[in-house]
Amino acid sequence: MELKEDMIAKIRDMGSEVRFNMGDVIYREGEKADQVHVIVSGHASIFKKSLSGEDVFIGLAGAGSIIGEMGLFLEGERTATVRASSNVTAIVFDADKFLEAVSKIPEISYMMLKEFSKRVNNLNRRIINITTSKLIYVIGIYLLENLQLEESPYYTPEEGTVQLYIKKFSIEHNMEPSRVESVLNALAKPGIIRIENIQNIQEEGKEETLYTIKLNPDKLRSYLRSIAHV
């Protein structure tokens, strides 16, 4: 979210001008959130800590950008580290002054509401992607563990066969059967696996769907490694 110059002019007197040199840390993830900055000139890089503790770049804030508002509204800690990637001039607002500015200028409130909605939407998409990746990983590992390779004294087979009972697998792994089938189709579309046959059968007196799947174990392992970081 970027404020236009006329909006910055309206709230400028409610804060104080500050300057940062390139490389200076403006906020550090985990610190108490009690101020907000509006960048007047320059750029700042935004980082999040990974599970391994490394700073991962997630975005760039430029002139007109409001930084630090998430932690302020959540009344908690900084959710990211912000570091000046050039010389930066900004206006800093204490919490009360920034909330006063927001309440007096409806345009800022509207822009912030749109930005928060956008972030929530992006977060929901991210959660869906993570969930799908984990389902693919669980199903992929199952396929590899149950793969039957045709033994031959003359060659090393590149493909093997797996039979997967959809409902049985779903119960054992606490998944919806439709989600399991969706993942199998998602793996089949780019050729990671090949669905040879789908049968509706009776298994222990109950209706069951049996998938017969062909796959190259090296290709599937390579694909699973590519999503394992999620």
- For the stretch 163-192, pLDDT in tens is 999 999 999 988 899 999 999 998 999 999
Per-residue pLDDT at 62 exceeds 80: yes
User: Residue 208 — very low, low, confident or very high, per pLDDT cuts 50/70/90?
Assistant: very high
Domains and CATH numbers, the chain: 5-104 (2.60.120.10), 128-227 (1.10.10.10)
CA nearest to 198, candidates 183, 181, 215, 186: 181
Per-residue pLDDT at 210 exceeds 90: yes
Q: What is the pLDDT of residue 6?
A: 82
List all residues 6 or more positions away from 176 whose beta carbon is below 8 Å from its beta carbon.
170
- For the stretch 69-88, pLDDT in tens is 877 777 678 888 999 999 99
Q: What is the mean pLDDT of the chain?
A: 84
26 close to 82: Cβ distance less than 8 angstroms: yes
List all residues 6 or more positions away from 44 whose beta carbon is below 8 Å from its beta carbon.
20, 26, 60, 61, 65, 67, 82, 83, 84, 85, 88
147 close to 160: Cβ distance less than 8 angstroms: yes
